[in-house]
Amino acid sequence: MAKKQVIEEIKMGAPEYMNTYGDMMTLLLCFFVILFSMSNIDAKKFEAIVVSFSGSLGVLSGGNTLTHEDVIDQGSINDKSNSEVTELDNFKQLEEKIKEYLEQNDLQDKVKVVNEDQGLLLRFQDSILFDQGSASLKSQSNVILKYISDILKSPNFKDKFITVEGHTDNVPIRNSTYSSNWELSVARACNVVRYLIEVQGLNPTRLSAAGYSEYHPVGKNDTVENMGKNRRVDIMIMKSKNFTPIK
């Protein structure tokens, strides 16, 4: 009698246990996706966390460790993120408010408002604040400076630091009061600061004054118009992250 031929079944594909393993991985993925969707993620801090793991798992290239105090400090990350978002919103609203005021008073060509990473920049052409070659504030300049001062006293900005910078064009100045553009630029910045402190009552610890003469122009001194842009006073309302009080 012929022996029965035994035919062994050859199973194809992955082992059966992989099905269970795959289901578990899928459930874990769904779980973490749900957690992620319920969380608050700060892009800057998330990037720092990714960088901190660079190289540690043998997948990414080496990077910095997670020790930068300017990225993550003690306390709640979400609390800090919320405060930063609130401040950004406040600065955006302030920018729009000042621009609206300038348009209503036909001053948009005399004062520029720029919302920068460092803070809100108010750029005054010198003609709105001073006569040519002078550092004495014009009487009509008090109106716009008082308006800015009232904003700086408001709850959202009462603790912000303010820098005042004087700038000139490259035309030399020699008169009985100022022997160079250095003296003129410094005097203009100082007189604006004195007005904010002595007349409007701002806290002196919040203010600084500096003069840069002709050496930080916003354009070339090749035309009358460009020279007028370079003769300016810049008032910067600093954002909190860019200022550390001196103790």
Least confidently predicted of 49-53, 94-98, 143-147, 178-182: 49-53
Q: Is residue 27 part of a domain?
A: no
pLDDT of residue 77: 45
Q: What is the mean pLDDT of the chain?
A: 83
pLDDT at 9 over 60: no
Residue 191's CATH number: 3.30.1330.60
Mean pLDDT score, 206-230: 95
State the residue range of the domain holding 130.
107-232
Structure tokens at 31: 């779980």
Rounded Cα gap, residues 117 and 46, in angstroms: 20
Comparison of pLDDT for 116 and 246, the residue scoring more: 116
Q: What is the pLDDT of residues 151-179, one digit of tens each?
A: 999 999 999 999 999 999 999 987 889 99
Q: What is the pLDDT of residues 56-98, one digit of tens each?
A: 445 455 555 444 444 444 444 455 568 889 999 999 999 999 9
User: Exposure of 234 by Cβ count < 10 A (0-12 exposed, 13-18 middle, 19+ buried)?
Assistant: buried
Task: Give the DSSP letter of residue 138.
Answer: P
| Beta carbons of 94 and 151 less than 8 angstroms apart | yes
The proportion of the chain whose per-residue pLDDT surpasses 70, expressed as a percent, equals 73
E-assigned strand segments in 25-118 = 111-115
pLDDT at 37 over 70: yes
Q: What is the pLDDT of residues 178-200, one digit of tens each?
A: 999 999 999 999 999 999 999 99
The proportion of the chain whose per-residue pLDDT surpasses 90, expressed as a percent, equals 60
> Nearest CA to 246 among 205, 218, 203?
205
Q: Is residue 96 part of a domain?
A: no
Q: Is residue 99 part of a domain?
A: no
Q: Is residue 79 part of a domain?
A: no
How many distinct structural domains can be found in the chain?
1
Q: Is residue 149 part of a domain?
A: yes
Q: Is residue 124 part of a domain?
A: yes
Residues 6 or more apart whose CB falls under 8 angstroms from that of 104 comprise none
pLDDT of residue 29: 86
pLDDT band with cut points at 50, 70 and 90 for residue 3? low
Q: Is residue 56 part of a domain?
A: no
Q: Is residue 10 part of a domain?
A: no
User: Exposure of 212 by Cβ count < 10 A (0-12 exposed, 13-18 middle, 19+ buried)?
Assistant: middle
Strand-pair partners of 234: 123, 165
Sheet arrangement for strand 207-211: 111-115, 119-125, 232-238, 162-167, 207-211
